Each structure stands twice: as C-alpha cells, then as structure tokens.
Amino acid sequence: MTGKEFRRWRRSLEISQQVVADYAECNKSTICRWEKEQIKIYPDLYSKVMDFYKNHK
C-alpha cells in the first residue's frame, strides 16, 4: 500500500495522522510526509502502520 492509498483509507474512516503515529510510535510529521510520498519509511515502521490498517479494517 502506498502512502497516498493509506491516506485515502485513513480519511474515509476519519482517523487522524496523530492516532496512526501514536500506534506506530513515530512522529505525526513522519506519517504526513509518507502519505505525501515525500519520504519512504523504514520496513519496521511500515509493518506497524500496516498492522494498524489490518486492525481497523
């Protein structure tokens, strides 16, 4: 899943970037920049974000 796809999903459920960042134990700006595809995130952080996604489907 790309950052842009994740952003669309997250917004459709009205989940804030801060909620995702808290779950993934990172900074909100990291989630923001990843969703805008300004950065790539490390595999361990990506795994946490995908766990969040799976748990909130």
For residues 32 and 9, what is the distance between their CA atoms, to the nearest angstrom? 14
Residues 32, 36, 2, 30, CA torsion sign: negative
Q: What is the pLDDT of residues 20-32, one digit of tens each?
A: 999 999 999 999 9
Q: What is the CATH number of the domain that holds 33?
A: 1.10.260
Count of alpha carbons within 13 angstroms of residue 7, beta-carbon side: 12
Residues of the chain above pLDDT 90, percent: 98
DSSP type of residue 22: H
Beta carbons of 28 and 17 less than 8 angstroms apart: yes
Confidence tier at 57 by pLDDT (50, 70, 90): confident
Task: Give me the pLDDT at residue 47, please.
Answer: 98
Q: What is the pTM of this model?
A: 0.92
Look up the domain containing 47 and give its range: 3-55
> What is the total count of domains within the chain?
1
CA distances from 26 to 12, 42, 44 (A): 22, 11, 11
